[in-house]
Amino acid sequence: MISAHCNPHLLDSGDPPASASQVAGTTDSSEEAPPATQNFIIPKKEIHTVPDMGKWKRSQVPFGTVAYADYIGFILTLNEGVKGKKLTFEYRVSEAIEKLVALLNTLDRWIDETPPVDQPSRFGNKAYRTWYAKLDEEAENLVATVVPTHLAAAVPEVAVYLKESVGNSTRIDYGT
Distance CA 12, CA 28 (A): 9
Co-location of 81 and 114 in the same domain: no
Helices and strands of the chain, counted as H and E runs: 6, 0
The predicted pLDDT at position 58 comes to 80
The predicted pLDDT at position 62 comes to 64
The predicted pLDDT at position 20 comes to 40
Distance CA 3, CA 42 (A): 8
pLDDT tens for the 176 residues of the chain, in order: 333 333 444 444 344 444 444 444 444 444 455 555 677 888 888 788 888 888 878 877 666 567 788 888 889 998 998 888 888 878 888 999 999 999 999 999 999 999 888 888 777 888 899 999 999 999 999 999 999 999 999 999 999 999 988 988 888 766 54
The predicted pLDDT at position 11 comes to 42
Co-location of 146 and 113 in the same domain: yes
The residue from 53, 86, 119 where one domain ends is: 86
Co-location of 128 and 102 in the same domain: yes
Residue 115, φ and ψ in degrees, nearest 5: -65, 150
Number of domains in the chain: 2
Co-location of 66 and 102 in the same domain: no
Could you give the dihedral angle defined by the CA atoms of residues 70, 72, 73 and 76, in that order, rounded to the nearest 10 degrees?
160
Co-location of 81 and 96 in the same domain: no
**Residues whose CB is less than 8 angstroms from the CB of residue 9 and which lie 6 or more positions away in sequence, other chains included:** 15, 16, 17, 23, 34
Could you give the dihedral angle defined by the CA atoms of residues 134, 135, 137 and 140, in that order, rounded to the nearest 10 degrees?
150
User: Per the domain annotation, does 146 fall within a domain?
Assistant: yes
User: Per the domain annotation, does 11 fall within a domain?
Assistant: no
What's the domain range around 104?
92-175
Co-location of 100 and 53 in the same domain: no
The residue from 48, 69, 86 where one domain ends is: 86
CA atoms within 13 A on the CB side of 45: 4
Q: Has this prediction a pTM greater than 0.75?
A: no
User: Per the domain annotation, does 82 fall within a domain?
Assistant: yes
User: Per the domain annotation, does 50 fall within a domain?
Assistant: yes
